[in-house]
Each structure stands twice: as C-alpha cells, then as structure tokens.
Amino acid sequence: MDSSSRQRRLTAAALTALAVTAAATACSSGSGSTDAKGAESGTYTIWDPYPQFDKSSAWAKLLDGCGTRAGVKIKRTAFDTSDLTNKVLLAAQQGNSADVLIVDNPVVSTLAEAGVLTTTDDNKLDTSQASANLLGAGQSGGKTYGMPIGANTLALYYNKAVLKEAGVDIASVKDWKSLTAALAKAKAAGKKGITFSAIGTEEGSFQFLPWLWGSGARLTDIGSTDAVSALTLWKDWLKQGYAPNSVINNTQTTSWQEFASGDYAFAENGTWQLANADKAGFDYGVLPIPAATGGNASAPTGGEFVTIPVQDDTGRYAVSQKLAACLTSSDNLLATDTTLSYVAPTTEVQDKQVAADPKLKPWVDAVKAAKGRTSDDLGTKYPKISEQLWKAVQSALSGTQSPEDALAQAQSAVK
C-alpha cells in the first residue's frame, strides 16, 4: 500500500476508532514510548496493552524469550488499552508500525478495515487450533487478521452461604425463570439478589449482551421482541428489589465491591475477578449465565489478538511471523493465559488449564459459549450499536422509557 492511499484510509478509520471501546477488565493504566523501530536492524518492536507488567514480569520475559528464539532483540512498549488504538493508527499513517501488535479484540476489525493489519493468509500465522467462536472477533470481510492470545468473559458468581440460607439449590438455576425464583428466595431471606453493571458505557453493553443473546436476539435487530424480553428481565429485577438501583451507575468494579460485601446471592462479572473472589472471605461458585429457556447464553469475549501490522519493508514479516507464532504456541499460551487470568483460545490448552485448576471449568464452559462483540461481520458497526444499546438500558432502568420504546428508538438510531 502506498503512503497516500494509507493516509486516505486511515483518516476515516481514525474517527471510527475513537468510538471503539473495550470493556474494562483487569488492565491498569500506563504509558509508553511511541518510537516503533529500534535503532538496530536486529530489533523488533512489540506493542501490547499490558502496562501493569514491567520488565521483570513473566510476560516481558516471554517476549524476550520469543525474540531470542527468533534471533532478534525485542523492544516492547505497553499502552493503556484506551490509548493503543489511536497510537497504532498514528504510527500506520507515519509508516512506523510495530512489528507485532497485541490488541483488544473489538479493535481488530477497525484496524483491518483501515488497512493496518496483514491477513493470516498473507502472514501465514496458524489459527487452525483456535476455537471458531473466539477467532470470529478477529475476522472481517471473510478474512482473518490475527490469533487470539486468550479470552475472558462473563459468568455469574454466587455466594454459597447466601444461597444456603435462602434455601436455593444452585443446580436448580437453569434458565431465567429459575434464576428469578432464586433471587426472590434470597430477598425473602433478608439477603440481596443480584448485582451487575448497567452503566452508560461499553461496560453496560458488555454486561447486557449475555441476556440479549440469551433471549435469542441479535445485535442487528436490537428492537426485536426477544431483545425487549431481555431488557424487561433487568427492569423487573429492579422493580421487585432483586437488583439494586445502583446498577445504573455501577462499573464492573463497583458491582464487584457490592458482591464482595457478602450480602448478594449473585453477581455478573468476569474471569478477571478470580483473584478477588479468593480474597472475598466466603465460599463462592461460578455458573455460566443461563439463556432464557435453558443452556448457556453466549457472553461477549474480552481478550486480545496477536496481529502483524502492514510494513513498508516486507522483509520484516518472516521474523514477525516467528514472534507471533511463538507467543501463540501451546506451551506459551498456557503460561500466558495463567498470567493474564485468561481462558486459552484452544481446546488443547483449555484442558490443561482445567487439569491444573478445576475451578476454571465453568469459565471454560462460558468461553466455549461466548462470541465476539464484532462477530457476525459487524466490524466497525458494533460501536454505534453498542452506544444505542447502553442508552436504551439506561432509559429503561431509570424509568424514562419502557423497554419496548427504548429499544425501538435505539434500533431506529442505528439505522
């Protein structure tokens, strides 16, 4: 791609990228240098969204080890997730892209449509072992643009003591009706039902998606009867006092803090809270989010993709491919996903994770049912849909509009 055509495509893409936000998970803030190329020809640059890991971390050592195996030095730069997309677009405009880019999965389609990333057909990165539902987040226009390094998703944490006091057998919770019945029993026992995040940001959409998808609705028709049933479920929980009004302003962090108080039967939250769950001081379990009529609902995937950006110097691709393949090899995925609290993107490594830690079994089940937010070839359409979705959730839960009217307005705005 010549520099002028790159500039034209990236100018439009940069505006789109500003709207693409990832659900906040476990990443902390940080900053890094934007100098993409090392001074030495044997230096390869890797950008990642893990500023919480310094040079002494297992993650940084893994990157250096892959560099050693490929016979090059690694220059790593870590950015906060929210900053990384714009840094990548700017670097691409300047012809100064990183050699390997690890990026949040909803952003892959944005960068792909902007012409920033090479396809796996071109770069020969093997994705054959990746689960199809996870790989979908890195696909756009029938092409694949990277390999998932791991995934997290949402499920229901539950407090065993609260359920016991309420007389609830967790095995009975299989669909929306039985879940709501469990919440009613918790309230009747003087406890609280469920907490979640319905804030007016991507976090709110992220948390609503399992219920939307679990109803049978699709993101391409958020005004459907099924979608209305999902929002009505949440609205009724607030109305009955099964969920607190605070969910309207809750982030996933503040929602977790409510659950950690020990008063709630359930909390919708993610894999990234496992360490906090172990510190909570009470026995807990994890249940995949049930679909309306039973089975596991699809929850949205978090997690990143290892991608190889377009370079003016195509001679760099061979080593970049070696680095990306090293990072996504089975042995390294197991180590990496343990470090990042991720479920692996391949069945082989998922089985190893469960063997090492049986508590991961419900999370593996949840990830197997999960799907990417930009799947179904939504690509850069997703941010606009998501914004209208969280606005509808806010309107319905605050009582400004009925679920029907809120979602009808949202669907109209998307069109």
Where residue 362 sits, what CATH number does that domain have?
3.40.190.10
Q: Rounded distance, CA 107 to CA 350, Å?
A: 24
Overall pTM > 0.75? yes
Q: Rounded distance, CA 240 to CA 36, Å?
A: 54
| Average confidence (pLDDT) over 208-214 | 98
pLDDT in tens, 91-120: 999 999 999 999 999 999 999 999 999 999
Residue span of the structural domain in which 188 resides: 154-299+378-414
Contact 49, 86 (CB under 8 A): no
Answer yes or no: do 159 and 41 share one domain.
no
Answer yes or no: do 248 and 307 share one domain.
no
Answer yes or no: do 356 and 399 share one domain.
no
Specify the pLDDT at position 2: 42
Answer yes or no: do 145 and 268 share one domain.
no
Contact 323, 125 (CB under 8 A): no
Q: Give SS3 for 326.
A: helix
Q: What are phi and psi of 78, to 5 degrees?
A: -110, 135
Q: Strand pairing partners for 270?
A: 154
DSSP character string of 136-182: GGGEETTEE--EE--BB-EEEEEEHHHHHHHT--GGG--SHHHHHHH
| Average confidence (pLDDT) over 50-67 | 93
Residue found under tokens 């020990």 = 262
Specify the pLDDT at position 338: 83
Answer yes or no: do 222 and 342 share one domain.
no
Q: Rounded distance, CA 164 to CA 166, Å?
A: 5
| Res. 380 pLDDT band, cuts 50 70 90 | confident
How high is the mean pLDDT of the chain? 89
pLDDT in tens, 323-361: 999 999 998 999 888 888 899 999 999 999 999 999 899
| Res. 39 pLDDT band, cuts 50 70 90 | very low
pLDDT surpassing 90 at residue 146: yes
Contact 265, 186 (CB under 8 A): yes
Answer yes or no: do 219 and 237 share one domain.
yes
Answer yes or no: do 311 and 240 share one domain.
no
Residue 56 vs residues 40, 61, 74: alpha-carbon distances, Å: 23, 7, 14
**Stronger pLDDT, 272 or 167, i.e. the higher one:** 167
Q: Rounded distance, CA 180 to CA 321, Å?
A: 49
Specify the pLDDT at position 336: 83
Answer yes or no: do 141 and 223 share one domain.
no
Number of domains within the chain: 2
**Stronger pLDDT, 36 or 65, i.e. the higher one:** 65
Strand positions, DSSP E, 188-263:
192-195
Among 9-18, 210-219, 309-318, the least confident range: 9-18
Residue found under tokens 């359920």 = 163
| 3-state secondary structure string across 57-78 | CHHHHHHHHHHHHHCCEEEEEE
Q: Give SS3 for 76.
A: strand
Answer yes or no: do 278 and 408 share one domain.
yes
Answer yes or no: do 270 and 208 share one domain.
yes
Q: Rounded distance, CA 241 to CA 358, Å?
A: 34
Contact 142, 123 (CB under 8 A): no
Specify the pLDDT at position 41: 62
Residue found under tokens 């990143």 = 304
Answer yes or no: do 401 and 319 share one domain.
no
| Res. 27 pLDDT band, cuts 50 70 90 | very low
Q: In what order do the strands lie in the sheet with 43-48?
A: 73-78, 43-48, 100-104, 304-307, 147-148
Answer yes or no: do 142 and 181 share one domain.
no
Q: Strand pairing partners for 155?
A: 269
pLDDT surpassing 50 at residue 36: no
| Average confidence (pLDDT) over 14-35 | 39
